[in-house]
Amino acid sequence: MNDERLLLAHGGGGRLSRELLRDVFLPRFRSGILARLEDAAVLEAPGERLAFTTDSYVVHPLFFPGGDIGRLAVFGTINDLAVMGAVPRYLSCGFILEEGFERAVLERILDSMRGAATEADVEVVTGDTKVVERGKADGLFLNTAGIGAVPRGVELGADRIRPGDKVLLSGGLGEHGLAVLTQREGLKFRSEIRSDCAPIHRLCADLLRASAPGGIRFFRDPTRGGLAATLNEAAAGRPWGIRIEEEAIPLREDVRGLCEILGLDPLHIANEGKLVAVAAPGEADRILQAMRANPLGARGAIIGEVVEKPAGRVVLRSAVGGLRILDLPAGEPLPRIC
């Protein structure tokens, strides 16, 4: 047995699988539920209503400025729960490893996941590991599913949005996508752009607390496809549209510059720690204040509003006043960004 690299048998359900679990996985996730090693975790239901979500992560490379696939997988699933207004509680992890993957790299990723789970106060309660032959995967793919508790009275959804509502964004766009891209391509820049990879559930909770009941209509985190995809998905088929003020969108100078050089639109690039919120007009200022009081929303801004026309579309008003349609991109300009 080669201790340094994973073998097919580490995914086989036998002795090597058990050793991997005991020596590598369990010491990192100190969960009494996980440690029972049952086929499923048995949990007290965290509330009357649950949020349930899943995402697979295939980001390449596995490590990038500001994060790695493990942090991304923990926070990404937390954020999908958070934008439904839920308090994230439990995570599952499914690993698909390529034969020959370095055990030390797996350990580094697991350490990162443990740190992320602790930071966000969620518990990894169940998991699974498979190993496929060399050349049949790309190192490591990771799936997380998550369960959260939706507090009483929290009702969010694009169907609650009305003309006149305000659109808020919690900070600068494009940082995650560019961080992965520069790492992948080996690009060097004076100002290193780091992924914004972060858990936004506490930011969401702060905003919900600051708002009158129903004052927040909708949350979403603008990941794959960027802000453009998020807003277009919200507006598609609705009897209202969204108008965004280009000048109001927070953007780091180095992100703006790099996007110009590379010919990328920051509105199409994935983020991993940003929040889009749509708020009732009378609540927007108070919610913005709460957003800015949280470090993850310090650069938050009202970036636009919900308009009656053009219904179902997103338009962007440029600095000089011109309007253009902001379309759903055909695909992510940067594949394997998450």
| Contacting a copy of itself within 191-230 (CB under 8 A) | 220-221, 223-225, 229
Please say which residue, 243 or 268, places its beta carbon nearer to a copy of itself: 268
In angstroms, the CA 261 to CA 255 distance is: 10
* Closest C-alpha to 318, from 301, 333, 304: 304
Please say which residue, 42 or 319, places its beta carbon nearer to a copy of itself: 42
Among 6, 62, 69, 83, binds a copy of itself (CB under 8 A): 83
Residue 80 within binding range of a copy of itself, rule CB under 8 A: yes
CA distances from 125 to 18, 35, 91, 118 (A): 17, 8, 6, 13
Please say which residue, 155 or 254, places its beta carbon nearer to a copy of itself: 155
* Closest C-alpha to 72, from 211, 223, 294: 223
Residue 50 within binding range of a copy of itself, rule CB under 8 A: yes
Cβ proximity of 196 and 272 under 8 Å: yes
- Tokens for 311, please give them: 């219904």
Residue 331 within binding range of a copy of itself, rule CB under 8 A: yes
In angstroms, the CA 178 to CA 337 distance is: 9
Residue 49 within binding range of a copy of itself, rule CB under 8 A: yes
For the CB of residue 42, give the shortest distance to a copy of itself in the complex, in Å: 5
Residues 6+ apart with CB under 8 A from 331: none
In angstroms, the CA 142 to CA 154 distance is: 30
Among 24, 31, 202, 233, binds a copy of itself (CB under 8 A): 233
Among 55, 68, 175, 305, binds a copy of itself (CB under 8 A): 55
Residue 310 within binding range of a copy of itself, rule CB under 8 A: no
Please say which residue, 79 or 294, places its beta carbon nearer to a copy of itself: 79
| Contacting a copy of itself within 84-113 (CB under 8 A) | 84, 86, 90, 92-96
CA 223 to the chain's CA centroid? 6
For the CB of residue 48, give the shortest distance to a copy of itself in the complex, in Å: 6
| Contacting a copy of itself within 12-31 (CB under 8 A) | 12-18
**AA letter at 121:** D
Residue 37 within binding range of a copy of itself, rule CB under 8 A: yes
Angle of helix 175-185 relative to helix 253-262, nearest 10 degrees, comes to 50
Among 74, 106, 131, 180, binds a copy of itself (CB under 8 A): 131
CA distances from 162 to 38, 158, 245, 274, 286 (A): 47, 9, 18, 22, 18
In angstroms, the CA 110 to CA 319 distance is: 45
Please say which residue, 132 or 248, places its beta carbon nearer to a copy of itself: 132
Cβ proximity of 247 and 319 under 8 Å: yes
Cβ proximity of 241 and 306 under 8 Å: yes
| Contacting a copy of itself within 134-193 (CB under 8 A) | 135-138, 141, 143, 145-148, 150, 157
Among 3, 42, 188, 320, binds a copy of itself (CB under 8 A): 42
Please say which residue, 18 or 189, places its beta carbon nearer to a copy of itself: 18
Residue 262 within binding range of a copy of itself, rule CB under 8 A: no
